[in-house]
Structure 1
Amino acid sequence: MHRSVTFKCRTTLAGLAAATALAALAGCAGGTAGNLTASPGSPALKGSVPDAGTGPQSVVAAMPPGKPTLSGPIGLAMSRKDDLYVANHYGTNGDILIYNSKNQLRKSTITDGIDNPADLTFDRGGNLYVTNYTNQTVTVYDAAGKRIKSRTLHTDTSYNPSGVQIDSQGRVWVANRNNGNITIGEIQVFNKNGKVVASATQGLVYPLGIVFSHKTGNAWIANSESPNDDMAIYTQSLQFVKTIPTPGFTPTYLAYAKTGLLYATNGLDADVEVFNTKGKVVQTITNGLNLPYGIAFNKLGYFYVANVGNNTITEYNAKGKLIATIK
């Protein structure tokens, strides 16, 4: 079923069919969604999902019984072994699914401490960090997937953690947003001991993805509130630099390619835009995308995109050509 919707909303979508709910999700920030596909027969929705700029909206699907499956894939991260880790947001609490380099689902699934995960990333030691949207924590796991409870980070309870990244000093940056007030946002920086050493709000409006520039080391942060879409730039000392407007494009999650180009997903539509170091769009990718959120690169320079709209992950080569779809 295809839907094209144009409207503003901050409504509760509990009990709606998945197709209708996902279409509504795409238009709730005042933007215009493109042609969005929702799988027929998807389960009813309940709970909360970190949607891009929609306000206090509730949409979380019950996880189907049996074999783990993609259900509300939000964040993506690539391990040192080139395994793809997926933050599965839907379900009672959600989970982390793992795919090998052949796009095959591994038997191991991470659930300990997971509570509707949004984003995830790895540190240099191979430890996994996961933002838990519902209980306002960042949980940490070793390379074997075992939870390191002593390293759990507790984020600002005034917000919901939706983005996470590790800087060159090993500090953890967390993007917090507030569904009750989509015009504000916050970045918290935690040191290796789990203490908050800095925080900032300037230039932040519903922040989600964070990425660090390969060239300058500056943090680029996706502000996902339409129509005030932009990317905020901070130094690693958390000094605000500027914002780069992205009119008509709602940046959601971000990733850098080996080429130094910045890739940004548009969580309110069906495209990925590629930016040069000056913030100019040099390429737009649309094939196979449906409410794209997380994005991650493998060692070959290929990239994966999590599609919330139809519960798939699409794989592209370095030129942006669609080469595989994980369902």
Structure 2
Amino acid sequence: MSPQQQSRRPPPPPGLLVVDKPAGMTSHDVVARVRRIMGTRKVGHAGTLDPMATGVLVLGIERATKLLGHLALDRKTYLATIVLGASTTTDDAEGERLSAATGEQLAAVPDQAVTTGIAALTGDIQQVPSSVSAVKVAGKRAYAMVRAGEEVELPPRPVTVYRFDLLGLRREADRIELDAVVECSSGTYVRALARDLGAALGVGGHLGALRRTTVGPFALAAARTLDRLEQDPVLSYDLDAAVALAFPRREVDAATARAVQYGQRVPAGGIEGTYGLFSPEGRALALAVDTEGVARSVVVLLPA
């Protein structure tokens, strides 16, 4: 479609898209392609995925971009392939090899040691992020410093690994491959789990593959590939459905709804955290928080 044709298209309705991101694309690449598919510049993403990773990436379209900074995406689930037997500069398969274990060293690692090592990395732990992460050091991204040849030492930080379940173990001459499910808090690096497991076992480790299956309330079952979206460019959730899924719901009467649409404060709803205000017709009016006895709109989604 030409730019002239795109400019004549009516804007799409606001809502969220759950995309099944392919490997090899950055989250920004996905946004650029969705802008073309949906015919709008107003596209943003939440919960960035590394280029090598696949799976759930949540995008906001039109007014729904206002939701992205308020979504509770602090719990994520991944299917991971961990390779024991080599460490890399990036803690994943795309980096240069730093060390390699011998066949004898790998054979000396019993299955029980693997499960014990996984158990030690489950729960509330202190994790040193990967040196090629987006963590900032003195105002600069760690990965940019590494690319510039600078030494990067990141301090450990608390993260929670709610679940680290071994699904399968395969032994080959030069590696041990593990398939695992990891459910973790935001800020947890699965590649760092692979690195630390390999280090604890004395053979090195890195992440071989990663697929995100959930982020917050959004799951792979609702995700669509970019190719499928190209054929059928419709939202995963319209604005009303997105707010109802992602936030506690508070319904208000018509008079209160009008006040909300004009940006006025209304009586508190007694709901903890950010919640959605809905009109009697079921339309999402705003996101609000209770403050000192009143509900204050943090985002008005359906202004008067």
TM-score normalised to structure 2 length: 0.26
Q: Which structure has the highest helix share of the two?
A: 2
Greater relative contact order (Cα < 8 A, sep 6+)? 2
Larger radius of gyration: 2
